[in-house]
Amino acid sequence: MNDKPPSPAGEAEEVDESLLDLLDDDEEEEPQRIAVGDVRYMLRFITPFMGAHLRRLAVIAVVLVVDTAFNISFPLVQRWVIDEGLVAHNWDVVAKTIAFLCFAAIAVSGLGLLLDWQTSRVAAALVADIRGRLFDRMQMLSLSYFQKNETGAILSRFSGDTVAVEHGLVAATHELLVPLIEVVYSTVIMFMFNFWMGLIGALVLPLSLFAPKFFAKRAFQLGYDKRLQEARLIGAVQENATAQPVVRAFDLAPRARSRFGALGASWFTTAFRFNFAGALVERSATTGVYVIHLAIFALGALWVWQGQITVGTLVAFESMFLYMGEALTWLTQVVPTLAQAAGSMRHLDELLLEPPESADPVGAVDLPRLERDIEFRDIGFAYPGGRFRIDNFNLTIPRGGTYAIVGGSGSGKSTILGLLLRLIEPDKGSILLDGRDLREATRSSLRAQCAIVFQDSFLFNTTIAENIGMGREGATQAEIEAAARDAEVHDFISGLPEGYETRVGERGGRLSGGQRQRMAIARALVRDPAILLLDEATSALDAETEAALLATLERIGKERTVISVTHRLQSVVTADMVIVMEKGKLREFGRHDDLLGRNGVYARLWKRQSRVSA
């Protein structure tokens, strides 16, 4: 196939450039580029995962040595049967040779099956372990990591990268270790046949292994670049699939095609260079084999003619050399596969080496359930890059009641919730629960008494019962149904054909916005939280649904502390305290009527919203 994706002007001619241009990296170097990997890097990456599979790896090693010994024995038997059997007309030698070859064929077949079985099992187990380690690490990362990195790049590690590693592991056995052992055996036996011919034959090693070094190095570089390009492609597909309503509504399909075409063209250039560099590795190696083979055949024929070696020795040496040449070819052919695997391993390492969310300090204590108040003391916080800052934030929230945090977009409302949940940490100051600094307590004990409902109520693609039950591990069916009643969604669920076993679809797509929100509230309530956090939990709902949900929240909030972030002031008129934020600072707080009477920031916001809704 000569087809390629459409590319912007100037890129289409890249294929026709000279060989050096094809192999030169004319793209701008990325600061985060990882150093070129090689087989030693792959070993360093994979070794920590091998501990649980040492017994199977030992079996593979033994089978490799024995199986290769049987394969290499054929040229030795060949010389013996020619010189001692056929030339000497000794039928006993011929019969023994045939019997040995039959036995060897059966042994090689059996050992091959055992090798394939063990290799397939170990490769699959190692990849499963790698995926598990990746997933575990993902659970430990801070939220800022997911905000800075594209979802597609993260997903590609679990799909394309691990698949490339699996292919590399299988290839490392069949196309690297087996040929490598064969090369060692062959070299030793060639010297046993004839020292001078063995010396000439050994010249193929530097020609076939060191001559392609430049191309192999380039292939490893391009293997990593190719994985990055594929991650960007997956990210673009994932983003486009998620944004289909926006794409259709704004007729963005042509722009999306153009952007994807540009990404595809960039991938095409990198993939072409990678494939071509890998092909040059093999081509340069086979050329060396052809040259040395010609020299050996000419010299060997001369020595047979002069009677210095036997015909059997020449035939056996030729077979051994060709055997070694084929093994060397396999070694060079595996380079692109290993390059892909090494590039993927470096991509995986980026996630595995990513610093986890800061751990609890040594001696951290578990927080008891909130009894008195939550205190923000001299809090200061800035997002990376200085995008936003909270400065000198001081506030005490008594236990029980409903508290609303309001303000314009970007005023810091949701940041306060993130600080309270320790999703982010303050740069200065401290947050205290009943006088205990949160940084001296375990995150698990803090979050165990908190529950949050977000604006976008994410539901998992499973049953309603499981979604609600995720609020607390071990929640019983009775507790799940009680939480659903408190959230006033039990009657709706009971009316469904499958009731609580109804699957909600991806992201809860089979339910309406109000139904998703109520199930998210039920999930929060089954946790029996002392602190219930609402982050714009009703802003996406219509007025009637919002009013019903607010009534529900007011009722359930009497037994716990409810802190609600919202920009819709109509929803805070009954709150026990309204906290007004502006540009990262606490401007005023109090009840709705009191704040209106002060004619400050809150009154200004109220008048503005009243004019808009009028």
> What pLDDT does residue 19 have?
38
> Could you tell me what percentage of the chain is helix, strand and coil, using 3-state DSSP and rounding each to the nearest 5?
65, 10, 25
> What pLDDT does residue 376 have?
93
Among 578, 576, 584, residue whose Cα is nearest residue 603: 578
> What pLDDT does residue 32 have?
33
Burial 150-170 (b: 16+ CB within 10 A, else e): bebbbbbbbebbbebbbbbbb
Contact 559, 599 (CB under 8 A): no
pLDDT digits (tens, 9 = 90+) for 286-317: 666 666 666 667 666 777 777 777 666 667 77
Query: Of the ranges 100-104, 392-396, 436-440, 572-576, which one carries the lowest mean pLDDT score?
Result: 100-104
> What pLDDT does residue 477 have?
92
- Strongest mean pLDDT among 237-246, 321-330, 464-473: 464-473
pLDDT digits (tens, 9 = 90+) for 360-371: 778 888 989 988
CA angle at 549 for the pair 546 and 553, rounded to the nearest 5°: 135
Map residue 268 onto helix, strand or coil.
helix
The answer, yes or no, to whether residue 29 has pLDDT greater than 50, is no
- pTM (predicted TM-score): 0.62
At a CB cut-off of 8 Å and minimum separation 6, what does 278 contact? 215, 219, 335, 336, 339
Average pLDDT over residues 265-288: 73
Map residue 252 onto helix, strand or coil.
coil
Contact 556, 525 (CB under 8 A): yes
Average pLDDT over residues 71-97: 73
Angle, nearest 10°, between helix axes 195-202 and 178-193?
A: 150
> What pLDDT does residue 613 have?
54
The answer, yes or no, to whether residue 31 has pLDDT greater than 50, is no
Token digits of residue 87: 């030339």
The answer, yes or no, to whether residue 534 has pLDDT greater than 80, is yes
Burial 82-116 (b: 16+ CB within 10 A, else e): bbbbeeeeeeebbebbeebeeebeeebeebbebbe
CA dist list (Å): 319 to 175, 288, 324, 338: 20, 17, 9, 28
- Looking only at the bridges linking them, the beta strands covering 389-398 and 373-382 are antiparallel
pLDDT digits (tens, 9 = 90+) for 470-519: 888 888 999 999 988 888 889 899 998 999 999 888 777 788 877 888 88
> What pLDDT does residue 396 have?
92
Contact 475, 469 (CB under 8 A): yes
**Percent of the chain surpassing pLDDT 70:** 78
Residue, of 3 and 584, whose pLDDT is higher: 584
Token digits of residue 353: 């080496």
Contact 577, 589 (CB under 8 A): yes
Q: Which domains does the chain have, with CATH numbers?
A: 38-352 (1.20.1560.10), 373-613 (3.40.50.300)
Q: What is the 3-state secondary structure (H, E, C) of 14-79?
A: HHHCCHHHHHCCCCCCCCCCCCCCCHHHHHHHHHHHCHHHHHHHHHHHHHHHHHHHHHHHHHHHHH
Average pLDDT over residues 33-39: 44
For residue 409, give the H/E element and its range.
none
The answer, yes or no, to whether residue 432 has pLDDT greater than 90, is yes
Contact 533, 498 (CB under 8 A): no
> What pLDDT does residue 10 have?
39
For residue 442, give the H/E element and its range.
none
Query: Of the ranges 287-301, 514-528, 580-594, which one carries the lowest mean pLDDT score?
Result: 287-301
Can you tell me the distance from the alpha carbon of 175 to that of 327, in angstroms, rounded to the nearest whole number?
A: 8
For 57, half-sphere exposure in the C-beta direction (CA atoms, 13 angstrom radius) is 14
In DSSP notation, 162-174 reads: HHHHHHHHHHIII
Average pLDDT, the chain: 77
Among 433, 412, 415, residue whose Cα is nearest residue 424: 415
Can you tell me the distance from the alpha carbon of 163 to that of 165, in angstroms, rounded to the nearest whole number?
A: 5
pLDDT digits (tens, 9 = 90+) for 211-238: 555 566 666 667 777 777 877 787 778 7
